[in-house]
Homo-oligomer: A and B are copies of this chain.
Amino acid sequence: MTISAARRRASIADVARVAGVSVGTVSNVLNRPERVLPATRERVEAAIEELAFVRNGSARQLRAGTITTVGAIVLDIANPFFTDVARGIEARLERDDYTVMVASSDDDPVREHRYLRLFEEHGVQGVMVVPATDDISHLLSLRERGVGVVLLDRPSPVADLSSVAVDDVHGGELAARHLLEQGHTRIAFLNGPHAIRQCADRHVGVVRALEEAGLDPAEALVEVTVPSLNADGGEAGIRTLLARGDRPTAVFCVNDLTALGALRTLRREGIVVPDEVALVGYDDVTFAAELATPLTSVRQPTHQLGETAADILLRGRDVPAEQVVFQPELVVRASSLSPG
């Protein structure tokens, strides 16, 4: 029985020794093979093969100073909206041979900070962030330290910080106005905390639509804060609403996952959608059209959102900052249509 020592990873020096060349030559084989004689190159390649040599990324990066990687932080990677955005980001980055590391903050500012620090310590060139709170001072100072920053799914409050967003006020307005047109006069809004800007903005839009219709938001709007922006949150939101009694005839959910949970819970409680309660979601995810009651939803240009953000980040710090705002669009389906 042989005892194999826990051997260290082979380094460039080991390869050089086996191939009988200098470390500089090995490095050249790896990075500028055309500069080294074919015979030498082959010897080096054989040594690499023999030792199963793998470059040490840390050393390489330490020397290089920067890497062709960017970071992205979204609120919830399990939400199809954000995976679509991430796909858009990837699509744009691939053209420039960049890679992206995607992290999910789960709406938690602490997790957001932790990932930002991780990204910065590892020398990413830039980050795209869907901030978990209204306070973005940490992103401004991050940028001052030389890291590119693009706000994602959120307009920038300052002119010199780039952002790519969808008009959430308008989105909320579209949803509420539609429900009003269907004859509803009291609307429940299952929303996330207003610390999340998208939630605050959609609320503003809803209020605006109510006021336009001559209604008093204090009476016509019942806002319920859900514990999480997913199906479980939607379920909890509906339960809260039902416990109160005096339930509205329409429910607007801050996203489709929440609407999914709402739909599930309403059905379990024997409440028929849309006859007894009309339902509108947000994001128009893949399955929205295929639900037991096809879901009316506000569609956003997800893929384009990601692509544009990545594009702005890559075009870099020399070009002036820009704020892009896309417009959402209402997709009407059965879940919100009044019977008859």
Q: A101-B101, A286-B231, A292-B292 are contacts. A145–B264 as well, Cβ < 8 Å? A: no
Provide the bound-state CA to CA distance between A78 and B231, in Å.
Answer: 17
Q: Which of A118-126, A156-164, A207-215, A242-250 contacts B (4 or more CB under 8 A)?
A: A118-126
User: How far, in angstroms, from A217 to B62 measured CA to CA in the complex?
Assistant: 59
A141 within 8 A of B: yes
Q: State whether A145 and B52 are in contact (beta carbons under 8 Å apart), knowing that A61-B58, A286-B231, A291-B287 are contacts in the complex.
A: yes
Cβ A57 vs Cβ B122 within 8 A? yes
Whether a CB of chain B sits under 8 angstroms from the CB of A219 is: no
Check B99 against A56 for contact (C-beta < 8 Å). no
Contact partners of A121 in chain B: CB under 8 A: 54-57, 60
How many whole Å from A226's CB to the nearest CB in chain B?
A: 16
Complex Cα gap A287–B289 (Å): 12
Kindly supply a per-residue 1/0 record for chain A positions 152-178, scoring 1 wherever the CB is within 8 Å of any chain B CB and 0 otherwise: 000000000000000000000000000
Copies, count:
2
A17 at interface by CB-CB < 8 Å: no
| A30 smallest CB distance to B (angstroms) | 12
Q: Tell me the residues in window 36-68 of chain A with beta carbons closer than 8 Å to chain B beta carbons.
A: 52, 54-62
A290 near B62 with CB under 8 A, answer no
When distances are taken between beta carbons in the complex, the residues of chain B under 8 Å from A27 are none
**B-side contacts of A60, CB under 8 Å:** 121
Q: Which residues of B contact A84 (CB under 8 A)?
A: 78
A94: shortest Cβ distance to chain B, in Å?
A: 11
- Classify the secondary structure of A's interface with B: helix
- CB-CB under 8 A from A58, the residues of chain B are 57-59, 61-62, 122-123
List, in ascending order, chain B residues with CB within 8 A of A55's CB. Answer: 121
Whether A99 pairs with B83 at a CB distance below 8 angstroms is no
Proximity bits, A117-154, B CB within 8 Å = 1, else 0: 11011110000000000000000010011100000000
Q: Chain B contacts of A6 at CB under 8 A?
A: 146
Complex CA gap A142/B157 in Å reads 48
In Å, the complex CA distance between A313 and B59 comes to: 25
Chain A residues in the interface with B (C-beta under 8 A): 6-7, 9, 52, 54-62, 77-78, 80, 83-84, 86-87, 99, 101-102, 117-118, 120-123, 141, 144-146, 231, 257, 260, 263-264, 267, 286-287, 289-292, 294
- Could you list 27 examples of A-B contacts with CB < 8 Å? A9-B145, A52-B144, A52-B145, A54-B117, A54-B120, A55-B121, A56-B62, A56-B121, A57-B58, A57-B121, A58-B62, A58-B123, A59-B62, A60-B121, A62-B62, A77-B83, A78-B83, A78-B84, A83-B83, A101-B101, A257-B286, A263-B290, A264-B289, A287-B291, A290-B292, A291-B291, A292-B294
